[in-house]
A and B are shown apart, each in its own frame.
Chain A
Amino acid sequence: MGAYIIRRLLINVLVFFLITVVIFWLVHKAPGDPIAMMVPPDQLNAGSAAFIAAKRHELGLDQPLVVQYWHWLTGALHGDFGYSLVNGRSVTSLLGERFGPTIELMGTGLLLSLVIAFPLGIVAALRRNTRVDYAATVVSLGSVSIPAFFIALIAIYVFTVKFPILPSSGISDPSAPSLVDSLQHLILPAVILGFANSGPYMRYVRSSMITELGADYVRTAEAKGATRRRVVVRHTLRNSLIPVLTYIAANLPQQLAGAVVIEQVFAWPGMGQLAVSSVGRHDYSVIIGFALIIAVLVLISSLLADVLYTLVDPRVRLN
């Protein structure tokens, strides 16, 4: 398996390189001029053209795209992913300081979604076509079909306006930061993110469990006198995890996309907020940095899904 992982990583490096070419080209070819837009039309004057030209030169945007890409690539190989056009800060530091809050929100959200999805999915499968199953189906349908931002707004109304027990925005109270305060700020966004992602997971757990419960080995185990509980816990649960784990790993980029919306609503200082504002301002380097993080996440999560597969199912061999 070691050789397989190394081979996959090498292929990923090549794919990543091609992605940088495509992203760099696409971002720079998007219509619009981020430098010219810095000066509002009715503040233009005799000096504006000189200012815009000087700014373009300073940022290297007056050079051919190939040259710009070469500079960017050589910088990137040394860990320097360029600088924001808007505030001149390095992309590494801009994305770096937002990475933590996004991981905090995404991670807690993922954990909560699994905490909701697994028990509900298992119970729904075991009590198929009963009221419990129908109730679980309604919950998962709600999670899939009601947009997360809508739930977020209702939650803001209920928990911050009607019954003001939780903060509605930000990551902490700047005038009185504490661990409890940080946790309070995390509750609403993380629970909503967790709920929004729990629906598909629950459906996966349920259908995977149902498939396994109908398998021959279950009948054999029960015929040999194993209790239902033992069969479920020792055999079907583990086997039904295989497709679920793959799905969760492959779904990580979508988790990030979900977090972007929640970050906007709750003014959570994560990468999503930065990405949205950078797209509006055509802040090339920051957009590229963000897109590359997503690309890395996709590449790693698909590799992770394959590796996890072999860990939970010894029958699978990677070649």
Chain B
Amino acid sequence: MARRFKHGALGAAVLAAVSAAACTGPAPDSASGSASGKSAINVYLYQEPAGIFSPLAPSNGPDNQVMSFLDQGLLAVDPNYKLQPQLAQSYDVSSDAKTFTFHLRQGLKWSDGQPFTAQDVLFSYRLLADPKSTSATAGSFAAVEGVSDFVSGKAKTISGFSAPDDHTFVIKAAKPDIGLLAQISVAYVLPKHVLGDVPVAQVAKNPYFRAPNVTLGPYKFVDYKTNQYVHVTANPSYPSPAKIKDVYLKPMTSDVATAQLGNGGMDIASFSPADLKTVQGFKNIAVQEKAGAGFVRIALNQSKSYFKDVRVRQAFLYAIDRKALVAKVLGGKATVQNSDFFAGNTPAGINEYAYDPQKAKSLLQAAGWDSNRTVELQWVPGQRDRDATTTIVQSQLGAVGVKVKLKQAQAAEIPTTYAKKSYDMTLYGGGNYAVDSWNVNVITACDQQFPKGGNIVWFCDKKLDEQMAKANGTADDGQRKALYDQAVLEENAQADLMWLYDPTGLWAVNKRIKGFQAAGSQDSPFWNPAGWSL
């Protein structure tokens, strides 16, 4: 309790100090040991990296951000959540939505001068799909033809991956599966000439991943001083070498990073809506906003009988004034979420569940909600917007006759409550599933119920599953969009999750830097650092 208080007080106090700074105007330059004036910049990391810069390791925000300077995939997701060719010059999708052919860029070299070929891709994809490598994403590759036989030992190699020549790589799906493209083609490619001889079971532990000094991206790894910075430097082998020579990625508290923006000690940093006025007060800083990369939601445990009734779930949505919540708690820097699907991918006419406590009451009454029942809402405290949201949800649900008890939990405690199916409600953040609507399937499908997948609410709607599968198996873009639109309407009506809001990505950039494109979240990878200049 004391520690929590300290953190809260710390945030408030820094804010006060920094706000005062904004009122008096920023300092023109810095004596703070910054990289200003030189061909080097400082970039904020919202967390200390784990220090394993590996596509085999579980996804970790700050490590991914470092890797976005060093590594490349066949395709990459741009700041508008569209797939863009990266190592591939172009790609084709077969008319049966089963075969993806990537035509690789020619003349690419690893940072040690070795040529990049399709063999590197083949090696990387085999490794990523093989659970023996302790690849955290191996499950995503299960839909590739031949992976299940390979994993069970029936086949010696994976038939769904092939490299017919040095500049072509082919992925075959076990069944029509457009969504597979977004799930696996963005994986970072590893150097076969460095790791190819290491036994599969040992690769993940290879020292290479602590200091990945042979890479394909615009920057090369220099060193990682724990708790201080990750230093990367321009890779001369990159086709259009980066214009900024050195980049230091520094983990620190967001309050200190915000203060450093003003004095030039920090050049690029994400920040929270609460600091917007302060940051706008810095004359040397430009602010960029981007549609959020993931939305905050409340999971309602539908393995419990009282959340099985769709009317209860709808009533919970009607009971919360989410528009006011976004305006008050996030200063308007978020959008209200009304579906699992990305707002840009949803059709007109979905139910917005506008604030209507009377409707909520009558739905609860119709569903026979027991007003003496108390449900527990668990969340990991520490983020201002989420902490405030829980108390608003508690009070507004209370107003329609639902008693809510708040329970603060540690991040490590939450998975246990999934395993035991013991929780009532969990507030948490997840992705926006924007790149491909198929990504929603992992949190809604009957066959993805925890622990088989990410459906931690044990929601099941066979109709939705059929609509999703049909859409995902359709190669034609227009037809697929029409099918997904039906799925969105069904999912929106079923209210599988209590959608809250999608916080806008806010980034502060020193005006001396050109070409930076903000991402939707503080933990999103950086886009095209080679295009940044001073």
Check: B435 CB closer than 8 A to any chain A CB: no
A94: chain B residues at CB < 8 Å are 226
- A269 adjacent to B10 (CB under 8 Å): no
Check: A39 CB closer than 8 A to any chain B CB: yes
1/0 per residue, CB under 8 A from B, across A173-186: the answer is 11110000100110
- In Å, the complex CA distance between A125 and B136 comes to 65
- B416 adjacent to A47 (CB under 8 Å): no
Which of A36, A170, A172, A273 is in CB contact (< 8 Å) with B48?
A273
Which of A87, A88, A154, A165 is in CB contact (< 8 Å) with B31?
A165
Once A38-B58, A41-B430, A43-B59 are accepted as A-B contacts, the answer to whether A160 and B227 lie under 8 Å apart by CB is no
- In Å, the complex CA distance between A147 and B8 comes to 13
A153: chain B residues at CB < 8 Å are 10, 13-14, 16-17, 255
B531 to chain A, nearest CB (A): 22
A40 to chain B, nearest CB (A): 7
- In Å, the complex CA distance between A188 and B417 comes to 44
A36: chain B residues at CB < 8 Å are 412, 415-416, 418-419
Which of A37, A55, A160, A164 is in CB contact (< 8 Å) with B412?
A37
- B34 adjacent to A157 (CB under 8 Å): no
One of B112-120, B259-267, B463-471, B477-485 contacting the partner: B259-267
- B226 adjacent to A175 (CB under 8 Å): no
Closest to A176 in B: B33
- In Å, the complex CA distance between A47 and B132 comes to 11
Which of A160, A162, A165, A267 is in CB contact (< 8 Å) with B253?
A267
A167: chain B residues at CB < 8 Å are 31-33, 265
B62 to chain A, nearest CB (A): 11
Closest to A39 in B: B58
A173: chain B residues at CB < 8 Å are 33-35
1/0 per residue, CB under 8 A from B, across A259-297: the answer is 001001111111001100100111000000000000000
A160: chain B residues at CB < 8 Å are 27, 30, 32, 259-260, 263, 265
Q: Within A144-159, which residues are at the interface with B (CB < 8 Å)?
A: 147, 149-150, 153-154, 156-157
Closest to A35 in B: B415
- In Å, the complex CA distance between A165 and B382 comes to 32
A172: chain B residues at CB < 8 Å are 33
B419: chain A residues at CB < 8 Å are 33, 36
B140: chain A residues at CB < 8 Å are 45, 47
Which of A36, A58, A274 is most buried by chain B, counting CB atoms within 10 A of its CB? Answer: A36
1/0 per residue, CB under 8 A from A, across B46-73: the answer is 0010111000001100000000000000
A233: chain B residues at CB < 8 Å are none
Closest to A181 in B: B33
B33: chain A residues at CB < 8 Å are 167, 170, 172-173, 176, 181, 184-185
- B265 adjacent to A47 (CB under 8 Å): no
- A269 adjacent to B226 (CB under 8 Å): yes
Check: A21 CB closer than 8 A to any chain B CB: no
- A171 adjacent to B228 (CB under 8 Å): yes
Once A51-B134, A156-B256, A261-B6 are accepted as A-B contacts, the answer to whether A175 and B38 lie under 8 Å apart by CB is yes
- A51 adjacent to B59 (CB under 8 Å): no
- In Å, the complex CA distance between A295 and B102 comes to 58
Which of A87, A172, A174 is most buried by chain B, counting CB atoms within 10 A of its CB? Answer: A174
Which of A31, A32, A175 is in CB contact (< 8 Å) with B40?
A175
Check: B111 CB closer than 8 A to any chain A CB: no
- In Å, the complex CA distance between A181 and B26 comes to 23
A259 to chain B, nearest CB (A): 13
- A162 adjacent to B256 (CB under 8 Å): no
Check: B443 CB closer than 8 A to any chain A CB: yes
- In Å, the complex CA distance between A39 and B58 comes to 6
Tally chain B residues at the interface, Cβ within 8 Å.
Answer: 80
A55: chain B residues at CB < 8 Å are 134
Check: A89 CB closer than 8 A to any chain B CB: yes
B251: chain A residues at CB < 8 Å are 267
- B10 adjacent to A47 (CB under 8 Å): no
Once A88-B205, A149-B13, A157-B21 are accepted as A-B contacts, the answer to whether A38 and B136 lie under 8 Å apart by CB is yes
Check: B411 CB closer than 8 A to any chain A CB: yes
- A51 adjacent to B228 (CB under 8 Å): no
Which of B34, B138, B418, B454 is in CB contact (< 8 Å) with A47?
B138
B226: chain A residues at CB < 8 Å are 94, 97-98, 269, 274
Which of B6, B48, B412, B428 is most buried by chain A, counting CB atoms within 10 A of its CB? Answer: B412
Check: B372 CB closer than 8 A to any chain A CB: no
Check: B236 CB closer than 8 A to any chain A CB: no
Which of A30, A41, A157, A268 is in CB contact (< 8 Å) with B454?
A41
Check: A161 CB closer than 8 A to any chain B CB: yes
A173 to chain B, nearest CB (A): 3
Check: B450 CB closer than 8 A to any chain A CB: yes
Q: Within B58-96, which residues are at the interface with A (CB < 8 Å)?
A: 58-59
Which of B32, B140, B141, B410 is most buried by chain A, counting CB atoms within 10 A of its CB? Answer: B32
- A33 adjacent to B256 (CB under 8 Å): no
Which of B248, B255, B410 is in CB contact (< 8 Å) with A175?
B248
Which of B256, B431, B443 is in CB contact (< 8 Å) with A169?
B256
- In Å, the complex CA distance between A41 and B534 comes to 39
Check: A198 CB closer than 8 A to any chain B CB: no
Check: B24 CB closer than 8 A to any chain A CB: yes
- B139 adjacent to A51 (CB under 8 Å): yes
- In Å, the complex CA distance between A177 and B14 comes to 28
- In Å, the complex CA distance between A45 and B454 comes to 6
Q: Within A13-67, which residues are at the interface with B (CB < 8 Å)?
A: 30-34, 36-51, 54-55, 58
- B10 adjacent to A33 (CB under 8 Å): no
A88: chain B residues at CB < 8 Å are 52, 205
Check: A143 CB closer than 8 A to any chain B CB: no
Q: Within B100-143, which residues are at the interface with A (CB < 8 Å)?
A: 131, 134-142
A240 to chain B, nearest CB (A): 33
Check: A139 CB closer than 8 A to any chain B CB: no
Which of B131, B248, B430 is in CB contact (< 8 Å) with A40?
B430
B149: chain A residues at CB < 8 Å are none
- A49 adjacent to B48 (CB under 8 Å): no
B40: chain A residues at CB < 8 Å are 175
- A269 adjacent to B227 (CB under 8 Å): yes
| 17 chain-A/chain-B pairs, Cβ below 8 angstroms | A42-B430, A43-B431, A45-B448, A51-B138, A58-B134, A147-B9, A153-B17, A154-B17, A157-B18, A160-B263, A162-B27, A163-B27, A164-B27, A169-B260, A173-B35, A185-B33, A269-B225
A residues apposed to B, CB below 8 Å: 30-34, 36-51, 54-55, 58, 86-89, 94, 97-98, 147, 149-150, 153-154, 156-157, 160-176, 181, 184-185, 261, 264-270, 273-274, 277, 280-282
**6 pairs of A and B residues whose beta carbons are closest in the complex:** A47-B139, A32-B412, A173-B33, A269-B227, A45-B139, A36-B415
Q: A48-B139, A268-B227 are in contact. List 6 more A-B contacts (CB 8 A).
A: A32-B415, A44-B139, A54-B134, A267-B227, A269-B227, A273-B48
